[in-house]
Amino acid sequence: MSVQLRKAAKHWTLWLLAIGAGCGGSASERTGRQPGGGAARVGGDVVSTVDGAAITVSEVQRLVNQSGLSPRQALSRLQDEALLMHEAEARGYGSAPEVLHLSRQAAAQALLAGVVESLHASDQETSDAYAAQSARFDVPEKRRSVHVLARLPAQPSAEQEEAAHAFADEVARAFAEESDPEQVRQRFGARTSTYFEVRAERLPPVANDKSFVPEFMQAIFSVSKPGPVREPVRSVFGWHAIYVTEIEPAIRMDLAAARPALVREIESGKRKHALDELLRRLRSDNPVVYDVKGQKALASLEF
């Protein structure tokens, strides 16, 4: 078969498969007829025939539901499909190796759809998975903060330590006395010192975990509501003055919200297991044979 014929065969087969998949199978699967002949007559459920092969009202309805076409457009498409199938058969395309190969691939896909992809997660399985993974759906409390840091070297002198502590204490008092912590952060963030480096930051919301150094985490979770941490905090970086600007309460994602993710995971796991079992059985029933020369040729292609 020429390259042009191979391309035409592939395009044709995929076109038919696309239509067939939308209508619940190929034309022959949907109607029980074979293209290119038949003795059906219009009447009852049969709305049209092409070379004696029936096109039924139920066929048209399925295509309308799947595609959004009007009934007349759907009927016209089914007639076109039947005409093309008949002509392809008449010209010998149906028996071409490439077309037969694609047809076998489509059959394999249909097998997977019936055996593997038809597996779904039950309500009970979803509920059980939710209960077993309850911690996963707990969103912990998070806290947002601003801080001004008098950053010190790893081994500060006594003068540096004292100056940094005094600076942080001044900022902490300002946080406690003034109504706008952001203005305090900006004002003291502009300060400079020969004893320490000043850093003033707005920090993202964090849970009580290891997002920051332990001393800082303990400080921001020590207050019961948004507001200043009264005393400066010493960490490995230096002295911090801290203001907790927001507390996001802990929430629990309910089953309804968690269901879509759980269903995807359960179905993926079930389908993978079913496919693995199917292939294991098929390999056992139909041993795969390797050619020694072919193995060597394959090895030369690997990289």
State the chain's mean pLDDT as an integer.
Answer: 85
Domain match, 174 and 243 both:
yes
> How would you write the pLDDT of the chain (303 residues) with one tens digit per residue?
444 445 554 454 444 444 444 444 444 444 344 444 456 666 678 888 888 888 898 889 999 999 989 999 989 999 998 898 888 888 888 788 888 888 888 888 888 888 888 899 999 999 999 999 988 888 899 999 999 999 999 999 999 999 999 999 999 999 999 999 999 999 999 999 999 999 999 999 999 999 999 999 999 999 999 999 999 999 999 999 999 999 999 998 899 999 999 999 999 999 999 999 988 888 888 887 877 777 777 777 765
The tokens for 177 are 């006395």
Q: What is the pTM of this model?
A: 0.50
Q: How many domains does the chain have?
A: 3
Residue 118 lies in a domain: no
Domain match, 147 and 198 both:
yes
Virtual torsion, Cα 107, 110, 114, 116, nearest 10 deg: 100
**Exposed, middle or buried: residue 239 (CB in 10 Å: 0-12, 13-18, 19+)?**
buried
Q: Please say which residue of 230, 249, 268 terminates a domain.
A: 249
Domain match, 199 and 59 both:
no
The b/e string for 36-50 (b: 16+ C-beta within 10 A; e otherwise) is bebebeeeeebbbbb
Domain match, 182 and 206 both:
yes
DSSP 90-141: HTTGGGSHHHHHHHHHHHHHHHHHHHTTT----HHHHHHHHHHTGGGGEE--
Residue 152 lies in a domain: yes
Which residue's entry shows tokens 């001393």? Answer: 215
> For 174-194, what is each residue's pLDDT tens digit?
999 999 999 999 999 999 999
Q: Write down the H helix ranges in the chain.
A: 3-22, 27-31, 57-67, 71-90, 97-115, 123-132, 158-177, 181-189, 214-220, 255-285, 292-301
Domain match, 128 and 267 both:
yes
CA 220 to CA 255: how far, in whole Å?
A: 31
Domain match, 245 and 157 both:
yes
* DSSP 8-state class, residue 223: -
Domain match, 213 and 296 both:
no
Domain match, 243 and 271 both:
no
Domain match, 160 and 220 both:
yes
pLDDT computed for residue 42 by the predictor: 66
CA 38 to CA 53: how far, in whole Å?
A: 5
Residue 11 lies in a domain: yes
Q: Please say which residue of 249, 265, 289 terminates a domain.
A: 249
> For 2-51, what is each residue's pLDDT tens digit?
444 455 544 544 444 444 444 444 444 443 444 444 566 666 788 888 88
- Domain containing 270 equals 123-132+253-301
CATH number of the domain encompassing residue 186: 3.10.50.40
